[in-house]
Amino acid sequence: MTPAQRWQRFVATASRPRGLRGLATFRVLSGIALLYQVLVNYAQRRVLWGPDGVLAFDDWRAGLHPLDLNLFALDGSILWFELAYHAVVVVTALWTVGVAPRVVTPMMWLVTWSLHGRNAFVLTGGNNLVQILLVYAMFADLGGGKPASRPRWWTPYLGLLHNAAYLAIVLQVCLVYFSAGIWKVHGERWFFGTALYYALRAPEFLLPGVSEPLYENATIVVLFSYATWIFQIAFPFAIGMRREVRVLTLAIALAFHVSIAVVMGLPVFGLLMIAADLALLGDGDYAWLTALWQRGRAAWQRRRAPSQGRGPIAAAPP
């Protein structure tokens, strides 16, 4: 086999797109979270992001880096703000439903970066992660691998680019978990198992009737404080293990972020992190979970069928 043939064989193997379902799931869930964020604050948009809002426009623009590309910095009029804000809504909606993802994803990065840069004080840590992931996502296929779109653009080298972008997304999410766990180890409250107590007692995150029973239980506080940073440090290693371990790890991560969204009142953060987590599942993982669901559903239907067929015995005909 000649070097050229070996290269072609390598490109053919390495360019097979991976993570299509995971990236499409990431697009939908993160799009829903970001769309919710701009719509739930729609009535207060001028106060939070407007030129006459909580951040004075001239002072804010003066603090921007000369190379910072921000739509809201182009003009200080209320008309331009309304146009830019509604552009955020429209682009986010188009991106979420999957309209021309390769074209809309760079636009999505621009509007997200612009809105977050206008006022970062109303956002959560999940927004920072999405800003980074959108940079990689611009080079990936977020459409779920629709057959109709492949003949127009899909080439082996674009496949290599897609896989490189997908790998970057996986590594970035793993880095977030690992670094978060390492920083917690160095924190006194996390190291001694009391961090959850102080987090649940913070007025910003207090959920009456739910937070009190949790932070008043010393066993729960210590157990979940230690479990949090141990899980985060182990996350990158568990993701690289066999499928069952990887799926179980992501299931725990999903339960972790759902609890944060509910108990601490951070739905946008929780959904953005869930979206990033589900991007780490490969196409084979989604196929395995689908088959597992179908087998479980079929077994349940078979189990119910005999009981549904039972009834009063019909009288024998004369």
Mean pLDDT of the chain: 87
Q: What is the mean pLDDT of residues 190-208?
A: 84
**pLDDT at residue 209, as a whole number:** 82
pLDDT in the model for residue 50? 93
What confidence score (pLDDT) does residue 2 get?
81
User: Which of the four pLDDT bands, split at 50, 70 and 90, describes residue 92?
Assistant: very high
Residues for the chain: how many in total?
318
Rounded to the nearest 10 degrees, the angle between the axes of helix 156-186 and helix 218-239 is: 150
User: Rg (Cα) of the chain, in Å, rounded?
Assistant: 24
Q: What digits encode the pLDDT tens for the residues 61-74? A: 999 988 888 999 99
Q: Give the pTM.
A: 0.86
Specify burial of residue 270 (Cβ count, 10 A radius: 0-12, 13-18, 19+): buried
Q: 143 or 80: which carries more pLDDT confidence?
A: 80
Is the pLDDT at 317 greater than 60, yes or no? no
Question: What residue spans define the domains of the chain?
Answer: 17-145+153-292
Is 33 or 302 the better-scoring residue by pLDDT?
33
CA dihedral (245, 250, 252, 253) in degrees, to 10, reads: 140
Q: Tell me which DSSP letter residue 140 carries.
A: S
What are the two backbone dihedrals, phi and then psi, of residue 169, each rounded to the nearest 5 degrees?
-65, -45
pLDDT for 149: 46
